[in-house]
Structure 1
Amino acid sequence: MSLSKLLTVCVIAISLNSTAAEHSRTIDIDSKVVSNHRATINGERINYSVTSGTQPVWNEEGEPTATLYYNYYKKDKVDDISKRPLLISFNGGPGSASVWMHIAYTGPRILKIDDEGYPMQPYGMKDNPHSVLDVADIVFVNPVKTGYSRILPNKDGKMPSADEQKAQFFGVNADIKYLADWINTFITRNNRSLSPKFLIGESYGTVRVSGLAKELQQAHWWFLNGVVLVSPTDIGIKRDGPVKAANRLPYFAATAWHHKALPTQLQQKDLNEVLAEVEAFTINQYLPALAKGAFISPSEQQEIAQRVAHYSGLSKAFVMRSNLDVSNNAFWKELLRDKGYILGRLDSRYLGIDKKETGDKPDYYPELSAWLHAFTPAINHYLREELNYKTDIQYKMLANVYPWDRSKNNTGEQLREAMAENPYLNVLVQAGYYDGATNYFDAKYTMWQLDPSGKMRDRLSFKGYRSGHMMYLRKEDLKTSNDDLREFIKASLKSQTHSAKY
């Protein structure tokens, strides 16, 4: 080969290698893009910045093992940042990106949907006049593999094995440990050491923030002012057997009321009045009856079945065939079977159509299809065009993080311990009445069982809404839930006028 041809081949090879490197589908390990915005929130004109970027997770040897994508909303011209609260937000899954609360609940920009939360075209974003950015800065964090967050190869360029990934990231306690380390770095990097600190988590995110309250306090010495549990899971507080079965009934009643499937004498009452009646029956009669199992008397079984049917919108015969224990799947399929509809799981206001009206469970969950329909185009456009964060990495709304290690889930007890050790720490529970995945009465039960001593009862509060798992999708509840969160933050800060002591 001639020298000129050899040089040409070398130049082409260098060019190809350079092109491959420039266009590799990877995310920057440590990056930051800042954009500036204005909004009117709670009647106040606010200028704010959004930092969109990635921040590494390190192992004990100081080597980066993953990088997490985040969006940090910060109000401009704050005189004293030490008095400005910081709200750290997580969604759940456990493989869910922090998209849902980001662009539908607390952030200053939310997706375009109708007043009840259904998708509309053209897709896009609009201002959120109810965001809590007026009272707190907010950082939305995407755990490993969600959003743009990714696991990194080791120093030898090899990706960790599935078992190694699980040990590092994919389990109740591994998740809490690495996220606490990440939060510690974020706090110190962004000069938020003196700021009042709050955690908010939705669904599985409530497990995450309950454990983080203790881990941040124990391993990093950050003491929180508040933890918000949105549509909470069990956070390690068991609700098995008769409790699990009985706790569904108030949710059944709420859903049947919404679909006008209750008897007239109940249907004409306000929902809150109906739920108070059903909750009392559930605790005082239904739960004890279920606890008797097969040894319940025939007459009592008949009486309880009639009451369950009365409150659920189901037939007495159906309740009897279920041995008084009606499953969620059976309810979603049965309630509107005669009308040809199934109910949504995460929000039972949503209706779907199955291939057959027969069967004992729905073919799919219509609410999740509707949500992904609206959220996916909105978040991808928003991050790239409004926040100016550009990458060819796919934004993963829902990521495969399974098998997830759910063993040794003691997060409810960890939250109780954090509260006991920190008199400033308050907890707010928010739940939608039409959520069948993490029903609101389970949320109440969890709150009741969190502190059996009752000595911290005044630091625990519950708020319910006439919507589902993501209660903020309904326009009326978007305002109410943000107002409740805003008041919770303000009330938690008032305690700082007193010393942290009992």
Structure 2
Amino acid sequence: MIRTSALAIALALSSVPVIAQDTPAGDAPSKEAKDSAKPNPDQVKASVEEDAQPVRRSIPFHGRSLSYTVTPGHLTIRNDKGEPTASMFYTAYTMPSARGQRRPVTFLFNGGPGSSTMWLHMGSVGPIKVDASNPETVPGPPFRYGPNPDTLLDVSDLVFIDAPTTGLSREVAKAEPKDFFGVDKDLDAFTRTIQRYLTKYQRWNDPKFIIGESYGTTRAAGLSNSLLDAGVQLNGIAFVSTVFNFADFQGDQSLVNFLPTYAADAWYHDKIPGKPPLEQFLSQAREFASGPYALALQKGNMASDSERQAIAQQMAQLTGLSADYILRSNLRVQPDRFRRELLRDRHQIIGRIDSRYVGTESDNVGEGTDYDPQGSAITGAFVGALNDYLFRDLGYKTPLTYRPNNYGAVYGGENSWDFTHKAPGDRQQIADTSVDLASAMRQNPRMKILSVNGYYDLATPFGGADYEFQHLALEPQLQSNIRYAYYPAGHMMYTDPASARQLKADLAAFYDSAM
């Protein structure tokens, strides 16, 4: 089992701090969140019996009414002996199929590992959405949520699934939380959950898609192969804020991947003189990162003083940091230091999950940051709105308490998350599910892929996503199945109104191409 603290910290991909999202809002915890997190004291046992509590609803949608059924419920998954292991909570949004057609069904989940799917459910493409549209702290309750003009429900049915021990998903019978805390254990649980949904609702012959965010992309890549092995052929997968290979968060390649995001953040916060068009500026940053910067890092101590000075000057022009700071950092500015240094002259820090957000610290001399301003700004709204919507508005009945995350258990003690992975043909000590995805794409050459990333994401940088997709072991004709989309927002680009509209358009076009 991998218990490298640096690895776990790197994977604080996107989510909430234990209840205040001190991490990426969307999936995983920062070191501070993990250190302070404790398992939810909820002791109520989940029932082995499945339940479904459908409610008929409609929302105004671009001049017409979109009528649908929303079904919160639990699916029971079982091991190979037929013994129940988990009660998996889902919220499904479905509409009748047009005559002679079969509606697609899309399975969506966040990651962490240890996060519920509250973020995608209440913030992205569902028919109901929390208003967290500005990069600032959401005003206190009552929180605003309502019809989502950018819902994907007009294109596909949507099934939001909470990972085991998060949300309302729980272990049952003789199973324990540790039975689900690992890359492969998690993949097994989600594979069985999707199979069970397809069987229960007779959806085996419908077009099938997955949308995963952050660690959810790690899971989605692994599912592409495990579902294929189980006879579930996917039409497409949308990866939101991607990471496949955890090792890419270590070493010099990680810094190369992060640099274009540093440039985007500096541009957004007016640290770039003249401020050229964003796309043009990021093109320069990408070329510098993969060229001169990567070469300088590769040279290490063999780089001359003049070479190091030249690199520091170019890097300063792109990142808004001083050349002196960059040189004193040995050309290697880590993300948390960048978050503290960029706006130090303003006595501000920037967000990790979304760098458009700013905050302050107790002093202005620190090396790193103590919290993520983005997480603190929106977590209360998502937790409050989800509970109000699910239990009051929809009237869902359960004795369980909704867990936004379960980081205290996932990242603490002897049963913390196992990052080893049995990939096709390979036993990995640190999971790299790009191997699974490439294998699935070779076996299912019609499956389409959409890579979705925000420019202002310091948890899973868009340069890192590009690097991982471009290093899949695929022939050119299969590489052409991959589309790339970028948005002027953060890890959860769907909270930004303009980005959400573009994301919906990109997803609709993607679904058309995949069917």
TM-score by length of 2: 0.86
* Map of 2:240 onto structure 1: 230
Structure 1 segment 39-188 matched on structure 2, within 5 A:
39-41=59-61, 43-76=63-96, 78-80=98-100, 83-116=102-135, 118-121=137-140, 122-154=142-174, 160=176, 165-166=177-178, 168-188=179-199
- How far apart, in 2, do the equivalents of 1:42 and 1:118 lie? 29
* Map of 1:348 onto structure 2: 355
* Map of 2:27 onto structure 1: none
* Higher Cα radius of gyration: 1
Is 1:252 aligned to residue 289 of structure 2?
no
CA offsets 1:27-85 (integer angstroms, 9 cap, x no match): 3331110000112335553210011100112122212111011001001354346x211
CA offsets 1:415-446 (integer angstroms, 9 cap, x no match): 11101111220111101111101011111111
- How far apart, in 2, do the equivalents of 1:248 and 1:213 lie? 27
- How far apart, in 2, do the equivalents of 1:434 and 1:491 lie? 28
Alpha carbons 2:438, 2:474 under 8 Å: kept:
no
Quickly say closer, same or farther: Cα 1:113–1:188, change in 2 above 3 A: same
Quickly say closer, same or farther: Cα 1:420–1:24, change in 2 above 3 A: closer
* Map of 2:425 onto structure 1: none
Letter in 1 for 2:468: T
Alpha carbons 2:135, 2:356 under 8 Å: kept:
no
Alpha carbons 1:341, 1:352 under 8 Å: kept:
yes
Structure 1 segment 265-344 matched on structure 2, within 5 A:
265=274, 267=275, 269-344=276-351
Quickly say closer, same or farther: Cα 1:334–1:469, change in 2 above 3 A: same
SS at 2:418 equivalent: coil
Is 1:362 aligned to residue 372 of structure 2?
no
Is 1:393 aligned to residue 404 of structure 2?
no
Structure 1 segment 466-481 matched on structure 2, within 5 A:
466-481=488-503
- How far apart, in 1, do the equivalents of 2:351 and 2:55 lie? 38
Letter in 1 for 2:151: S
SS at 1:97 equivalent: coil
Alpha carbons 1:112, 1:120 under 8 Å: kept:
no
Cα deviation for residue 113 of structure 1 reads: 2.8
Alpha carbons 2:73, 2:91 under 8 Å: kept:
yes
SS at 1:134 equivalent: coil
SS at 1:346 equivalent: coil
Quickly say closer, same or farther: Cα 1:78–1:443, change in 2 above 3 A: same
Query: Paired residue for 1:445, among 464, 467, 476?
Result: 467
Cα deviation for residue 171 of structure 1 reads: 0.5
CA offsets 1:111-142 (integer angstroms, 9 cap, x no match): 12344474134313110011110010000001
Cα deviation for residue 381 of structure 1 reads: 0.4
Letter in 2 for 1:229: F
Quickly say closer, same or farther: Cα 1:39–1:451, change in 2 above 3 A: farther
Query: Paired residue for 1:458, among 449, 463, 480?
Result: 480
- How far apart, in 1, do the equivalents of 2:286 and 2:432 lie? 27
Cα deviation for residue 237 of structure 1 reads: 6.9
Quickly say closer, same or farther: Cα 1:36–1:349, change in 2 above 3 A: same
* Percent pairwise identity: 35
- How far apart, in 2, do the equivalents of 1:187 and 1:319 lie? 53
Alpha carbons 1:116, 1:475 under 8 Å: kept:
no
Quickly say closer, same or farther: Cα 1:237–1:429, change in 2 above 3 A: farther
Alpha carbons 1:214, 1:417 under 8 Å: kept:
yes
Structure 1 segment 170-209 matched on structure 2, within 5 A:
170-209=181-220
- Equivalent pairs, count: 457
Alpha carbons 1:114, 1:120 under 8 Å: kept:
no
Is 1:405 aligned to residue 418 of structure 2?
yes
Alpha carbons 1:118, 1:371 under 8 Å: kept:
yes
Letter in 2 for 1:365: D
Quickly say closer, same or farther: Cα 1:373–1:430, change in 2 above 3 A: same
Q: Which stretch of structure 1 is more off in the superposition, 208-217 or 35-44?
A: 35-44
**Which structure 2 segments of 5+ residues have no match?**
1-41, 422-430
TM-score by length of 1: 0.88
Letter in 2 for 1:125: Y
**Which structure 1 segments of 5+ residues have no match?**
1-22, 494-502
CA offsets 1:257-302 (integer angstroms, 9 cap, x no match): 111011x23x1x1111110111111112111111000101111111
- How far apart, in 2, do the equivalents of 1:71 and 1:40 lie? 20
- How far apart, in 1, do the equivalents of 2:124 and 2:136 lie? 12
* Map of 2:18 onto structure 1: none
- How far apart, in 2, do the equivalents of 1:77 and 1:89 lie? 20
CA offsets 1:454-500 (integer angstroms, 9 cap, x no match): 3312101111111111001111111111211111111111xxxxxxx
- How far apart, in 2, do the equivalents of 1:139 and 1:457 lie? 28
* Map of 2:6 onto structure 1: none
Cα deviation for residue 411 of structure 1 reads: 1.3
Cα deviation for residue 213 of structure 1 reads: 0.7
CA RMSD, 1 decimal: 1.7
Letter in 1 for 2:254: K
Q: Which stretch of structure 1 is more off in the superposition, 119-128 or 427-436?
A: 119-128
Alpha carbons 2:260, 2:463 under 8 Å: kept:
yes
Higher relative contact order (CA 8 A, sep 6+): 2
SS at 2:311 equivalent: helix
SS at 1:234 equivalent: coil
Alpha carbons 1:116, 1:473 under 8 Å: kept:
no
* Map of 1:421 onto structure 2: 443
